[in-house]
Chains A and B, each alone.
Chain A
Amino acid sequence: MATTAAPLPMGEPLGPNVASADVHFPAIKTYEQVDHEIINTMRPTLGWFILLALAILAMLAGAATWTYQIYEGLGAAGYQPPVMWGVYIVSFVFWVGIGHAGTLISAILYLFRAGFRTSIYRVSEAMTVFAVMTAGLFPILHLGRPWKFFYLIPYPHWRLIWPNPKSPLVWDVFAILTYLTVSATFLYVGLLPDFAIMRDREKNPIRKRLFATLSLGWRNSDREWRHFARAYLFLAAFATPLVLSVHSVVSFDFAMANMPGWHETIFPPYFVAGAIYSGLGMVFTLVIPMRKFFKLEHYITLNDLDAAAKMCLFVSMVVGLAYLTEFQMGWLAGSSFEQEYWWNRTFGQWWWAEWIILSCNCLLPMSLFSRKLRRNPGWLFALSIFINIGMWFERFTIIIPTLSHEFEPWQWGTYMPTWVDMGILLGSFGFFFMWFLLFIKQLPVMAMSEFKELIPAKMKQRAAGGGAH
């Protein structure tokens, strides 16, 4: 236990180091307090077990539904030609989008030295990895013959048949796998010092061994820190363009097609903005309950939430601008296909979906201009749910109204999902939350080592000789 923090000075009550610290700044004084409080959150509770059970149940329900769909054929889902893509691709884009906030917060904000990221970046990063894992399921389970998915992978083959490099779907395979690899690496590298803390405090020999392995023999030397900081910075710089590229590639699935409402040059930036936006929404959804149930209000302070909310507001306006640009392009396109498509989407057949997204993604977030609401975790949580719904429907309105109202009027149609679509969507949430719930009880939800950097120097001195990670 050589590197762990010294025991807390007995008798001295824990209190904020600054008068209003519990709401403004992290109310932490000592390294030991950080280790203690954060590792404390990892003790399993009954509520956690119940949630985990629900998540696994939902995942199993989704898996059973998928099994049925594979047996029966895709007709079990709600596809109504010409709507050949439905809930699965909507959910795919939704989950990929969610996967963007993590890297944004951990990498881009790191490069910009934005302080408020400290408290939320670990959660966001884990969320990213799990969301991308979830997203990766959908392109497979939407296939007519999912057992042949490997045709999309360029594996060596004696017939020399390769995937079609012109197809955006092949680009997707590479983009998603790259993003998953990089974001998982980034998450892992950031966890190294924390693994060491865990190793040092762990009593169970097996887990201790496991953490020792995972920490790659971290010994808290200056040299290690120097390399670590370099590596982290490098990875942040490496991951940053991916934030932009991955969702751009996903947007090519649509922008490369020639359909009204899809064939738009604005799609890459529009999708990236949307992705960041939906990711931020999901971060709020995850962090605010966690902050409450793990009693981490003095780590994830209102200042942090406020800052994140400001970013959310900004991205909301970017997204809103993208919507307006799209409308304008549809209007000014001079093509009756585009004009009728936009009219049908906004005021016709799909008006309800369009207005769900406009109100959830553009109107409601305007409330964040109010400082009071920005600092109201309850409102932020509620708003984040709206944003999640709005962003799911954004993808819905991108995909469904286009396919149901294309060039050929004789083949105009409609779309209604069935229980199979919904079962698999539920399963995807189960899958995501299963990983997330396992994560929050197995690994520290916040970077302990980074928090220790926030402890004011005076206190650091007092606790000198204690833990130094």
Chain B
Amino acid sequence: MSERPVNDSKKKSNVKRRDFLKILGVSGAAVSAAACSPEPAGKLIPYLVSPDETVPGVSTYYATTCRECPAACGIIAETRDGRTIKLEGNPAHPLNRGAICARGQSALQQLYNPDRLRTPLVKQAGTWKPIPWKDALAMVGEKLADARAKGTAGNAVFINQHESGSLVEFIDQWLAAFGMKPHLSVEFEADQATLEANRRAYGVAWPRLNFSAARLIVSFGADFLDGWGTSVPQQLDFADARTNFQTAPRFVYIGPRRSLTGLNADQWIACKPGSELAIAQALLGAMGHRTGTSIAQAATASGVSAEVLTTLANELKAAAPSMVLSGVRTGDALEVAATVAEINRAAGNVGKTILPDEPILAFEGISRYSELADAVEDMRGGRVPVAFVRGANPAYFLPASLKFDDAFAKVPFKVAFATQPDETVEQCDLVLPDLHALENWGDAQPVKGTLSLQQPAMDKVFSETRSAGDVMIALAKADPSAARRFPQADYRTWVMEQFAGGPRAFAAGLATGIASGNMSVRRTPGARGTGTAPALEQASGDYYLVTYPHTLFGDGRGANKPWLQELPDPVSKIVWSSWVELHPETATKLGIERGDILEVKTAAGTIKAPAYLYLGIRPDTIAVALGQGHRSRAKLAPWNPANNNNAQNFLQWGYGRYARDVGVNAFDLISATTDAAGGFVWTGTKASITKTGDHETIPSTEGSARQHGRGIAQAATIADLLGGKVKDEQEPLLPGEAPHEYLRGMRAPVAADAQGEIGAPTAADSGTLLGLYDPRNPLGMAKRRWAMTIDLAKCTGCSACVTACYAENNLPTVGAAWQNATVYAVHKTGYNIVRGREMNWLRLERYFEGADDAKFGEEFEGRFVPMLCQQCGNAPCEPVCPVFATYHSPDGLNVQVYNRCVGTRYCSNNCPYKVRYFNWFGYGESDRPQYAFPEPLNWQLNPDVTVRGKGVMEKCTFCVHRIREAEDRATLEGRELIPDEFTSACAAACPSRAIVFGDAMDPKWAVNQHIEDERAYTVFKEINAFPAVVYLKRINHPSPLTASKA
């Protein structure tokens, strides 16, 4: 079939949109093994004789595996009418147990990315031309035969984005069939030093971390809540451990920059970059080992007071068991990791909090950075005849100083298996459009003993894309010598055949997405030699430079997804931009204000980015996140939605329209050095900063970072909690206060006022009429009161709930440069968010407490509050709406009727929580530049939820469509709702299980226990809005040092 750009709606009308797609896989227990058809049937779903499993308007759920990071969490893909519309965690999966992070959910926006490659392309005389698959395969076959004939095939390089599972084995077999050496399985974020140290100390790359057993967690820069290791299960366990208050661990974070994980710590020990080793050795020394570093020496080296270190050492000795983690990325990272492993051994943590017997296997087989760097040198030497790249983007994430581009250009023939144009693909000669993981088969081995299965959740989005595995099998079949090694028809067959138990076991496992069993893993070869990183202190420059992978974009691969661009960075709350973090003290010294454009210079290069003043960084350090700054080599005009239908315009080099020219690439600053484990050194240099004189308002969703004592994010200490001093005194009713009745189960109960005063005990009728929420009310209107609790002691601020809300409720992203007004307006990325126009129904507020005068050394605390419509019982928004577009539903919701809304915005003005969002532009209209869902992104839209029109107000609905769906289902089945049978999208995603949703009128729902919790409070109680969202106070574990001083 010829090229058919799906966004060319004028030519093709809507046939594609309504294609019926035969979907493989299972729904519930049903198993289907029908073949996958690439040909669109071109018909609506027939109602009369509809295909099995497909009922129009009813979702089918497929269990599959997330491939957004190596962890391989289990996901459930909700598919409606042949389109996958939502990803949620697979509750049966041993790793993520039903939770899912923001990155995982955003896989949908890769699947439906409007910039996806749609057809094989070949570069001829510098321009890209579509090429039929037949010719493309012939071309590759020819080059491979050529290389083998010349005897250089052994030098060919295959770089693959690391995926655990049999793909690793498959690629190596295929390469071997052609006489090529094993491939590089690249995961740039992987902490090679820790992996190596773990292998040496425990024999596994990643032992399971048992947070619940620990009494003290000490992290040396190990950001286990934002990207280090398997963040979702770590987050689940950490949250569980921290809310089991009797045994909850205290958490100390050591590092020059306080990351999201650091903000979740009770104490931040701000050591100098590179001094972690001294501290670790001193701690080890304090445990009775000979290390040659005393506490005093460590204090001098790290700039931390000896008192703090001594206290920590004493705590560490007293806590049994504890958990010490290393995630440092300096030149001596391996030594730190090894010392930390020794501390764990000395403290007796191994087998208690560090469980090598239950290893996480997803990180086995990751190639070292040094291997990749060696391959680059081979390329530079002209020894590489053919290079394959699949998924990974080394042209972006390798530091500019490595000069990857020059070396890569010396490879005569470069093939990319890619779903999306990126910097590396742009430099290849042949591009073979790959399938997305949600369209493809596969497997993974997340933990020992369990295999996670991957199946297509829907038919291909673009008919001319082919799975890399299928392509490789086709190539092998065309080659006489390789053909016999691949008798299978396609990659699916290959996967199933080699699966433990064969195709039958595979198919049986598809219903739950998991199967028990083990598969062989490729071992990473042992590290050789020493690192190449020079000592940090010797670098020239005024400030230590800390670079780190962006919590949401990772090594940059998330940047093309508008959900992730629009999702505020959990720490800085900046969107659609890069920034340079520096301490307010440094800023004052240099006369820098937030938003001043700084030039950061190192020996390797220079970047310019706006300054972000952050309390959580040492004054002698600056930090930049990697992930933004994607650039195209071709001179491309900025994306112009007016050319949406131009067939030539979808080669969006520079990683697609949403990533190109957004922010800067921090790796322009870094020289390419390795640690002793062959891992890349992220913190290995110093930088100087100068003010350029330019200024910009950073696109950020943060208003004030301080609560001004308003009690939005409340906290208590563990001592108070255990001493029973946390519960709020019930305030007596003041004369003249609005009458309200504290119905059982709701702290913020039912305002009589919301529905008139009937039934209120103080009302004029003296309570003879029953309130609308009274179960005995003859009207029977209010059997339920939907409510939510959010446990701030669990919430880590990861923001997965926010993305879940975007996905569930069709929230438009508004930050792209072209989404502002069209006439005489600023066309700047993130400008709509500079103007506060983000549409996040659920936002994650991050407040700082303490260190009010921004002095370094003062303790401060980060507090996270998910803030959404509070569904007030006495909602201020309701009476002011002139047209009843917002009103109170009998089950306690503040309902917003989009069709009735005229857009006075009075409701938003009167909302104390400021959780209402207005459609300033026609984000849902496809003929506008502001359109937020360019084809095929619109395929993800949830059919249960309206795409709101221009000029109306919208807000969180408590996922009212899920409520109604569950109620309808119950009615159809002739039963009552089962407690906790469904939940809201945010609660379903939450990787800390902080959000609980349910009916506060029915004690059987879990939400009731939390409402009755002693930590429960409501925000702005004095306004008497009676919110249905109840927060549970965060619990802090102050340092014994602070406690003794206090």
Contacts and interface: CB of A to CB of B under 8 A. Distances in A.
Are A and B bound to each other? Answer: yes
B910 A410 contact: no
A173 B832 CA distance: 32
B845 A144 contact: no
Residue from B823, B900, B904 whose CB has the most chain A CB atoms within 10 Å = B904
Given A75-B821, A411-B703, A81 B908 contact: yes
A336 B712 CA distance: 14
B696 to A, nearest CB: 15
Given A152-B882, A258-B876, A419-B824, A144 B710 contact: no
Contact of B918 (A74, A139, A162, A407): A74
B512 interface: no
Nearest to B953: A144
A137 to B, nearest CB: 15
Nearest to B573: A410
A73 B920 contact: yes
A149 B908 contact: no
A406 B902 contact: no
Interface string A251-263: 0010011110000
A264 to B, nearest CB: 15
A333 B366 CA distance: 63
Nearest to A412: B703
Nearest to A419: B824
Given A169-B882, A410-B702, 11 more contacts: A73-B921, A75-B820, A82-B914, A144-B902, A145-B901, A145-B902, A167-B880, A258-B912, A336-B710, A407-B912, A412-B703
A76 B910 contact: no
B941 interface: no
B825 interface: yes
Contacts, number: 179
12 contacts: A73-B920, A73-B921, A73-B930, A81-B917, A83-B836, A84-B905, A84-B906, A144-B903, A145-B950, A168-B880, A258-B912, A418-B821
B297 interface: no
Contact of A151 (B843, B902, B909): B902
Interface string B856-885: 000000000001000000001001111110
A163 interface: yes
A340 interface: yes
Nearest to B905: A84
A407 B703 CA distance: 12
A325 interface: no
Interface string A279-306: 0000000000000000000000000000
A164 B836 contact: no
A16 interface: no
Given A72-B823, A145-B951, A80 B919 contact: no
B285 to A, nearest CB: 44
Interface of A: 68, 72-76, 78-85, 139, 142-146, 148-149, 151-152, 161-164, 166-170, 173, 253, 256-259, 336-337, 340, 403, 406-413, 418-420
A12 B111 CA distance: 97
Interface residues of B, number: 57
A75 B902 contact: no
Given A163-B883, A408-B912, A410-B703, A336 B876 contact: no
B918 A144 contact: yes
Given A258-B912, A336-B710, A410-B704, A75 B880 contact: no
Contacts of B843: 410
A76 B901 CA distance: 19
Residue from A78, A163, A406, A411 whose CB has the most chain B CB atoms within 10 Å = A411
Contacts of B706: 409
A167 B710 contact: no
A84 B908 contact: yes
A165 to B, nearest CB: 9
Contacts of B922: 73
Contacts of A146: 902
Contacts of B951: 73-74, 143-145
B881 A257 contact: no
A412 B910 contact: no
Contacts of A406: 912, 914
A151 B921 CA distance: 21
Contacts of B903: 74, 143-145
B504 interface: no
A80 B127 CA distance: 44
Residue from B820, B951, B1023 whose CB has the most chain A CB atoms within 10 Å = B951
A168 B706 CA distance: 33
Nearest to B832: A75
Contacts of A72: 821-823, 921
B905 to A, nearest CB: 4
Contact of A76 (B704, B825, B905): B825
Contacts of B845: 410
Given A72-B823, A145-B952, A258-B1023, A336 B708 contact: yes
Given A72-B823, A80-B835, A81-B917, A259 B952 contact: no
The 10 closest A-B pairs by CB, nearest first: A144-B903, A75-B920, A144-B951, A409-B704, A411-B914, A412-B703, A84-B905, A169-B882, A145-B951, A167-B882
A253 B905 CA distance: 12
B709 interface: yes
Contacts of B821: 72-73, 75-76, 418, 420
A170 B847 CA distance: 38
A467 to B, nearest CB: 51
Nearest to A416: B835
A409 B703 contact: yes
Nearest to B703: A412
Contacts of B708: 336, 340, 409
Contacts of A83: 836
A257 B901 contact: no
A434 B867 CA distance: 49
Contacts of A161: 883-884, 900
Interface in B936-960: 949-953
Contacts of A144: 901-905, 918-919, 950-953
B703 A164 contact: no
A252 B710 CA distance: 27
Residue from B836, B876, B884, B921 whose CB has the most chain A CB atoms within 10 Å = B836
B22 to A, nearest CB: 41
A168 B671 CA distance: 64
Contact of A149 (B709, B867, B902, B930): B902
Contacts of B913: 407-408
B880 A169 contact: yes
B919 to A, nearest CB: 7
A258 B913 CA distance: 12
B837 interface: yes
B918 A81 contact: yes
B926 interface: no
Contacts of B912: 258-259, 406-408
Nearest to B819: A75
B879 A81 contact: no
Given A144-B953, A336-B710, A409-B710, A80 B904 contact: no
B950 A73 contact: yes
A213 B950 CA distance: 47
A88 B935 CA distance: 36
A84 B881 contact: no
B836 to A, nearest CB: 4
A413 B703 contact: yes
B707 interface: yes
B910 A258 contact: yes
Interface string B888-915: 0000000000001111111011101110
B1020 interface: yes
B703 A257 contact: no
Contacts of B847: 409-410
Contacts of A412: 703-704
A424 to B, nearest CB: 14
B411 to A, nearest CB: 48
Interface in B595-654: none
